[in-house]
Structure 1
Amino acid sequence: MKDRSLVQIALYAAIFAVLGLLPRLDLPIAGGVPITAQSMGAMLAGVMLGAWRGALAIVLLLFVVALGAPLLAGGRGGLGVFFSPSVGFIFGWVAAAFVAGWIMQLLRKAPVFPAALVASVVGGIVVLYAFGIVGMALKTQLSLVDAAKASLVFLPGDAIKAVLTALVAQTVARGMPEALLSRAR
């Protein structure tokens, strides 16, 4: 892996961590899984870096979190977060970034905004919720159906994050197209 790729992976891990500084919203529903801005970090990492680099950025962040760094929303960190009702979403961020990047690569000939929007919705919502719902059901007393219903509370915010991710990708592509690594080749 080239030095530039390592720097880009570290940069998006840092962006993901910064999104954790935004306040989280704890709800009594959804098994205690908070609403955070960090799912947008997974969308951005995949859309901007591509499948492998985007997923590696999230893996890097999760490694640092596992070491105890309080980089998740609300200042959470340490191994305990991997045993919370959020565990499905936490591991789902890796898959979300990978799928978002993969879709961006598949749609590299399409205009940036719609490609990034589709990639963000499929990776950052559909794939992320698939992991999150299963994790929530396993760590709470909710059935898969009830966990899916509870996850609907996240949908409006995640739809906004997908649009914002697409806007960021389009803006970056206009000013510095080579920074959109997911479309390179």
Structure 2
Amino acid sequence: MSTRDVVLVALFAALMAALGAFPPLMIPAIGVPITAQSMGPMLAGGIIGARRGALSMLLFVVLVAVGLPLLPGGRGGLAIFAGPTAGFILGWIAAAAVTGVLVERFWSGLSFVTAFLAAAIGGIVVLYAIGIPWISLVGGVPLATAAAGSAAFIPGDLIKAGLAAAAILMVKRSYPIIRPAHGRP
């Protein structure tokens, strides 16, 4: 891993911390906050690629696990991983990887639509596929109930996917960090 790669991984872990500074909007009925941080994996995977994006999310998760208060509301520590949001927090790693793989796959013809779909598939579909079963398991609620409760977050996450797609395209046009698959070192 080059110095540039390490810097990009650290930069996007720091971006996740900055997104955590936005106060969470708690929905009491399901106990899961609406946060800006769910946009982080979309940005990381889409801007710095699958490998570096996933590593940035892994670094962020490790920093939270060791107790740094990087989650909204100043939360951090191992206890977070026993709660209902842990599946989503751990899912950020896979979400960034999948978003990055899709952006890399469609890099040469990347448009707002393909960037949006990559962000939505990685940052919503994959994230929910990990987070919802965790809510069901930890919360002791049926999977269908956890899924229905999580549906309230979809409109906001679609907006985040649109913002991420716009950012991905801006970076691609001005300073492309990802290189097409055939041009990668």
State the TM-score bracket (shorter-chain normalisation).
over 0.9
Superposed, 1:89-108 pairs within 5 Å as: 89-108=88-107
- Three-state SS of the structure 2 residue aligned to 1:9 is helix
- Alignment partners' CA distance in 2, 1:36 and 1:18: 11
How far residue 141 of structure 1 moved from its aligned partner, in angstroms, is 2.5
Q: Is residue 79 of structure 1 aligned with residue 51 of structure 2?
A: no
How far residue 114 of structure 1 moved from its aligned partner, in angstroms, is 2.2
Partner of 1:24: 24
TM-score by length of 2: 0.95
Q: Is residue 174 of structure 1 aligned with residue 183 of structure 2?
A: no
Verify the 8 A CA contact 1:13 1:57 in the aligned structure 2: yes
Overall identity of the aligned pairs, in %: 49
Verify the 8 A CA contact 2:132 2:143 in the aligned structure 1: yes
How far residue 182 of structure 1 moved from its aligned partner, in angstroms, is 6.1
Partner of 1:126: 125
Partner of 1:8: 8
Amino acid at match of 1:12: F
Superposed, 1:28-67 pairs within 5 Å as: 28-30=28-30, 32-67=31-66
How far residue 112 of structure 1 moved from its aligned partner, in angstroms, is 3.6
TM-score by length of 1: 0.95
Runs of 4+ displaced beyond 3 Å: none
Verify the 8 A CA contact 1:24 1:74 in the aligned structure 2: yes
- Three-state SS of the structure 2 residue aligned to 1:71 is coil
Gaps of 5+ in 2: none
The structure-2 alpha-carbon separation of the partners of 1:2 and 1:125, relative to structure 1 and needing over 3 Å to count, comes to same
CA displacement, residues 104-154 of structure 1 (integer Å, 9 cap, x when unaligned): 111112224222111100000000000110110011031100000000111
Gaps of 5+ in 1: none
CA RMSD of superposed structures (Å): 1.2
Verify the 8 A CA contact 2:46 2:115 in the aligned structure 1: yes
Query: May I ask how many residue pairs the two structures share in their alignment?
Result: 182
